[in-house]
Amino acid sequence: MARAASELSGSAVPDTDGRRRVVVENVRPCVDGGRFPVKRVAGDHVEVTADVLADGHDVVAAVVRRRRDGERRFREVRMQPLGNDRFAASFPVDVLGRHSFSVRAWIDRFATWRDQLGRRVEAGQDVRVELAVGVELIEAAAGSAPAAAATELRKWRDRLAGDDPEAGAAAALDPALAALMAAHDPRPHATDSDVAVPVWVDRPLARFSAWYELFPRSLGGDRHGTLRDVRGELARIARMGFDVLYLPPVHPIGETHRKGRNNMPAAEPGDVGSPWAIGAAAGGHTAVHPDLGSVADVRRLAEACTKRGIALALDIAFQCSPDHPWVSEHPEWFRHRPDGSIRYAENPPKRYEDIYPLDFESDDWAGLWQALADVVRFWLRQGVSVFRVDNPHTKPFAFWEWMIADITRDHPETIFLAEAFTRPRVMERLAKAGFTQSYTYFAWRNGKHELESYLHELTRTGLRDYFRPNFWPNTPDILTEPMQTGGRPTFAARLVLAATLSPSYGIYGPAFELVEQRGLRPGSEEYLDSEKYQLRDWDTAAPGSLEPLVTAVNAARRAHPALQTNERLEFRHVDNDMLVAYTKHTEDRGDIVLCIVNLDPHHTQSGWVDLPLEHLGIDTDGPYQVHDLLADATYTWQGGHNYVELDPHRSSAHVFHIRRRLRTEHDFEYYA
């Protein structure tokens, strides 16, 4: 009596289906093997690639299977071979929230048979036996197809089974039959990719946004400003072209150990303290400083912003002043010294006696997590859905992953910006954990080669699938040495770089427009008379303001889709290291923008810029126009090698819209 080979050899029964011959590998995009979501915005197409291969010479087929969370059925997109066992497909995402996709692949028996049949016909061989095989394949597909398709397939089957082999072969090779069989392939022994890759879809503001930061308390002139005063600024902010207004913490500020002007350890009478020392008798993270107004004023401000096409962003700083209600209500949420006192924040030798950090290793860590998430929910109910999060790298990754997922499950429109100037891997992990956008090292990337290298890292590596940069040339905490010494030309150059190298950028104004460049002391990046510790009276109408340039830059960003993404950012050669040049273009090359920035704030710089005209879809033989969107000037260029010159005291940058020469049916030339 015969026995199974495994019984004869003593081998264990295989724990896999050995008939699955197709291998699916290297599925992209994918973040950490599917541990974290790939990020996209509504309206995007997710471009999927995978290596799909099998032994032998059979034809393989593959589809991308995708669905949105909550959907029961998958939708499929057929993958197309790119060569060398690489396949690709894309699918649109229009609904906010979590989606997922995987790849399914199998031996395409009909396509394999059809390919071999075609070669037999070409060689003049008898194909009657092969046609009988085709009849079996079609019948197998008809057996699992819907009724209408099954009827159509059986009509084709009968054509193959006829008495005329030549007619049968012609029917077998008909592209219409191939398409029908591809749609209803039984897919025997199909292989699925190892993981379903998650995709998180945000609203478009998550990718393309211009942020404007101001301190409401400095809007009152000779008094403490209010949230109502902020409403009075909205027309100017909207006119400049910003779509996010960010306010530092609006909560009550602690009295105990309040910091004085210029971060002095002791406050003088009348000193207003740091907004980041959150909490006083008037309340904590869900209260508004009485001098600013009320929670109702936040709601009214959010509504007024929305009417002008602006999103209101609030600061989320999860820390407390010694006067915060949580200190007495939940002392277990803070770390204590051996004498029982609560530890204040320290970064030796610096001391921050006005701030108590929260203890995320508290025995009541779950209660703490819930209370912090409730803070975000509270402000969502007031109409705020954008949050700039202070120092997230000093809180656990697990907390952020849980909280952001918990919030966005019900409010997928919520945007979180991570203010984390820390080690690269930490910043990356925060982005993976769910932060929508991230501050970057842009402020400290000043030279041509370091800019090019940094942008290559952000746009040409795996970071592009989950790390969305937000470039800020200045913040209330950061006034770099070049900004302190370069004057107006440096401010102008950094503005153009931030706004055109990144789809999202921001400025801390009005300090930026008014070229506030006074450092606290040599070697310090702190401002002298920092607005973090005192009221400032800004004259936004002062002569020499950069407001016109800011307005022109934002207008260019809004008018040109090429500047609204970093997918096709490409640096161009220019024979002068003080000039940096780069292009951006839309996928169809219908919009092309060339930016050239002088990195020298003191001297005129010139050079020759090289453009790959054929790659950009520009006629290599005729002239074309470049229109400067900042100066509203137009130049005619010829060929791919052209001269540029920038005097920083007149203009630090060109932002050129490249107009290609077109012809109408009447051979009339024009540019577009």
Domain boundary residue, one of 563, 584, 618: 563
Which positions are annotated as active-site residues? 390, 419
Distance CA 564, CA 210 (A): 11
351 lies in some domain: yes
Instruction: Judge if 476 and 347 occupy the same domain.
Output: yes
Q: Average pLDDT in the 180-194 region? A: 95
Per-residue pLDDT of 444-483, as tens digits, reads: 999 999 999 999 999 999 999 999 999 999 999 999 999 9
Domain boundary residue, one of 563, 591, 614: 563
pLDDT (0 to 100) of residue 80 = 97
Q: Average pLDDT in the 46-55 region? A: 98
Q: Average pLDDT in the 221-240 region? A: 97
15 lies in some domain: no
Its sign, for the CA torsion 327, 333, 337, 340, is positive
7 lies in some domain: no
Domain boundary residue, one of 563, 584, 608: 563
Find the radius of gyration of the CA atoms of the chain. Answer: 31
Q: Tell me if the bond preceding 29 is cis, omega within 30° of 0.
A: yes
167 lies in some domain: yes
Cβ neighbours of 72 (radius 10 Å): 5
44 lies in some domain: yes
Asked whether residue 6 carries a pLDDT value surpassing 60, the answer given is: no
Instruction: Judge if 587 and 541 occupy the same domain.
Output: no
pLDDT (0 to 100) of residue 67 = 97
Distance CA 220, CA 229 (A): 7
Length of the chain: 672
pLDDT (0 to 100) of residue 248 = 98
Instruction: Judge if 235 and 190 occupy the same domain.
Output: no
> 């108590």: which residue's tokens?
356
Spell 361-390 as b/e; 16+ CB within 10 A means b.
ebeebeebbebbbebbeebbebbbbbbbbb
CATH number at residue 153: 2.60.40.10
Instruction: Judge if 183 and 308 occupy the same domain.
Output: no
Q: Average pLDDT in the 311-323 region? A: 98
In the chain, count H helices and then E strands: 17, 32
Global confidence as pTM:
0.94
Of 350 and 338, more confident: 338
Instruction: Judge if 248 and 188 occupy the same domain.
Output: no
Instruction: Judge if 225 and 134 occupy the same domain.
Output: no
Report the domain count for the chain: 3
Q: What percent of the chain has pLDDT over 90?
A: 94
pLDDT (0 to 100) of residue 255 = 97
Q: Which range of residues forms the domain containing residue 603?
A: 566-671
pLDDT (0 to 100) of residue 295 = 98
pLDDT (0 to 100) of residue 8 = 47
Per-residue pLDDT of 537-552, as tens digits, reads: 999 999 999 999 999 9
pLDDT (0 to 100) of residue 16 = 81
pLDDT (0 to 100) of residue 224 = 98
610 lies in some domain: yes
User: Who contacts 363 (Cβ-Cβ below 8 Å, separation ≥6)?
Assistant: 332
Instruction: Judge if 195 and 209 occupy the same domain.
Output: no
pLDDT (0 to 100) of residue 399 = 98
pLDDT (0 to 100) of residue 96 = 98
**Token code pair at residue 404:** 């952001």
pLDDT band (50, 70, 90) for residue 347:
confident
Instruction: Judge if 604 and 507 occupy the same domain.
Output: no
Per-residue pLDDT of 367-409, as tens digits, reads: 999 999 999 999 999 999 999 999 999 999 999 999 999 999 9
pLDDT (0 to 100) of residue 3 = 52
CATH number at residue 658: 2.60.40.1180
Asked whether residue 31 carries a pLDDT value surpassing 70, the answer given is: yes
Look over the chain and give the mean of its residue pLDDT values, rounded to a whole number. 95
**Three-class secondary structure of residue 374 per DSSP:** helix
Q: What are phi and psi of 43, to 5 degrees?
A: 100, -15
Helix (H) or strand (E) holding 321: none
Q: Average pLDDT in the 511-534 region? A: 97
Asked whether residue 336 carries a pLDDT value surpassing 80, the answer given is: yes
pLDDT (0 to 100) of residue 266 = 92
Minimum mean pLDDT range among 50-64, 348-362, 575-589: 348-362
* Partner residues linked to 75 by β-bridges: 66
pLDDT band (50, 70, 90) for residue 9:
low
Q: State the DSSP string of 34-94.
A: GTB-EEEETTEEEEEEEEEEESTT--EEEEEEEEETT--S-EEEE-EEEETTEEEEEEEE-
pLDDT (0 to 100) of residue 121 = 96
Distance CA 134, CA 174 (A): 13
User: Who contacts 441 (Cβ-Cβ below 8 Å, separation ≥6)?
Assistant: 421, 454
Asked whether residue 326 carries a pLDDT value surpassing 80, the answer given is: yes
* Partner residues linked to 102 by β-bridges: 65
454 lies in some domain: yes
> 């400049």: which residue's tokens?
240
Residue 513's Cα: distance from chain center in Å?
A: 27
pLDDT (0 to 100) of residue 351 = 83
Q: What are phi and psi of 532, to 5 degrees?
A: -65, -20
pLDDT band (50, 70, 90) for residue 664:
low
Q: Average pLDDT in the 160-172 region? A: 95
Q: Average pLDDT in the 27-40 region? A: 98
Instruction: Judge if 366 and 239 occupy the same domain.
Output: yes
Instruction: Judge if 187 and 257 occupy the same domain.
Output: no
Asked whether residue 154 carries a pLDDT value surpassing 50, the answer given is: yes
Distance CA 193, CA 190 (A): 10
* Residue 22 CB-half CA count within 13 A: 26
pLDDT band (50, 70, 90) for residue 12:
confident
Instruction: Judge if 174 and 271 occupy the same domain.
Output: no
Q: Tell me if the bond preceding 349 is cis, omega within 30° of 0.
A: yes
Give burial (CB, 10 Å; 0-12/13-18/19+) of 550.
buried
Q: Average pLDDT in the 4-33 region? A: 81
Instruction: Judge if 393 and 526 occupy the same domain.
Output: yes
pLDDT band (50, 70, 90) for residue 10:
low
Longest dimension (CA), the chain: 106
Asked whether residue 230 carries a pLDDT value surpassing 80, the answer given is: yes
pLDDT (0 to 100) of residue 18 = 87
Per-residue pLDDT of 426-454, as tens digits, reads: 999 999 999 999 999 999 999 999 999 99
378 lies in some domain: yes
Per-residue pLDDT of 80-118, as tens digits, reads: 999 999 999 999 999 999 999 999 999 999 999 999 999
CATH number at residue 551: 3.20.20.80
Per-residue pLDDT of 259-302, as tens digits, reads: 999 999 999 999 999 999 999 999 999 999 999 999 999 999 99
pLDDT (0 to 100) of residue 61 = 97
